[in-house]
Copies of this chain bind each other. A is one copy, B any other.
Amino acid sequence: MLLTPKDEIEARIGLLRPLMEKAALDGAFFHYKIDYYYFSGTTQDGFLFVPIDGPPVLFIKRELNRARRESRLERVVALKSAEEIRPYVRGMKRIGLQLDVMPYNMVLAFKQHLGEAELVNVSSLAKAVRKKKSPFEIRIMEKGAAIAKEVYGKIPEILKEGMREIELGGMLEAIAKPLGHEGLLRMRSLNYEPYTWHILSGRTGSIVSQADSPMGGLGLSPAFPVGASMKRMRKGEPILIDFGVNYHGYHMDLTRMYAIGSMPDEFARAYEVCRDIHYRVLDRAASGVIASELFRYSNQLASEAGLGAYYLGYGPHKVSFLGHGIGVELSELPFLAPRHDYPMEDGMTLAIEPKMVFPRKGATGIENTVVFENGGYRVLSDVDEKITIV
């Protein structure tokens, strides 16, 4: 099993410390799985404490032996009771907790052991560090891309007329998991639950849901009303497959279009517009244009193609992002969206997804995960981009 190397963990904490200093924090706790894994290399039940001027301490409730094997941190200690953290925080005046995701009652319980310290939300610091990836992280994402390539490569043999969306979804998961796909796509969003089987055919591509996406799908029941459904896939429908992969905690996100028999002209044309937007935006991104401007530019391109009404959703269901960073979280900094006034930089990874939704008819579009490097970009999700007709 691949473990996060010691120098990698040290580099991450090394990037965190100046941000802590700037925020005048004496120490910070990370309990939320995404960030906790990123800074420690383990997800065993516990949390990480980073003091501003001492070695990080990993407190483990369960399971200590596994945590010691998985984390390269030197101080991995058993925690039997929360009050054992008291000596570590004594005298501290400002302490970071992940207040955006820590339950209210848990914060109150923590507070009892933090003396008079002021509590500050520390999640934004973790997000800022994660915004750029190391070569180690890119290598893991390349492996995720290889898994995705193998999964997508099987679709032409599997996809058949009359098959249910969820049937295909289940089969793709069954292919992906023995290749190392964790099955979970992680995202910090209230009530979010992970799923990988975003398979939308014809009208289900135009159904929106609670998810912040231009298309949500029908899902299986009101209990989980997103993603693939019991709908059978038919000839001549656009079939959108957005199957994310999680390898060793790192995500890979991509979308390709399929059809049985033939793709309706309207969707084929809109797909080419999306693909054109995708590459024109990336070219500008590589030349240093800021994210908010890239978002605006993509809207302009969609409008010029006469498809502005359908771009990134229709009517009240339009979303306001064209791309999202991707790493240990499916959606993280950077964002191609309004108010994100910074350029892409070497080391950033981005899932860019220009998509079009036609009311009651369906959805089309493309998505790739790319890395910015050497002043340019490279597509990680290296899967044939032509519309596949089976």
Q: Residues of A at under 8 Å CB distance from B?
A: 1-4, 31-33, 36-37, 41-45, 61-63, 66, 70, 97, 99-107, 121, 164, 166-167, 169-171, 173-178, 180-184, 186, 190-191, 193-195, 197, 207-210, 212, 216, 220-225, 228, 230, 246-250, 317, 328
Contacts and interface: CB of A to CB of B under 8 A. Distances in A.
B249 A210 contact: no
A43 B174 contact: no
B221 A2 contact: yes
Contacts of A66: 207-209, 225
Contacts of A102: 103-104
A184 B224 CA distance: 9
A190 B44 contact: no
Most buried by B among A4, A177, A197, A248: A177
A195 B209 contact: no
B104 A107 contact: yes
A193 B33 contact: yes
Contacts of A210: 43-45, 61-63
A58 to B, nearest CB: 13
B221 A180 contact: yes
Given A44-B209, A61-B210, A167-B178, 15 more contacts: A32-B191, A43-B210, A62-B212, A99-B104, A102-B104, A106-B190, A173-B173, A173-B174, A178-B230, A186-B193, A221-B247, A221-B249, A223-B248, A224-B246, A224-B249
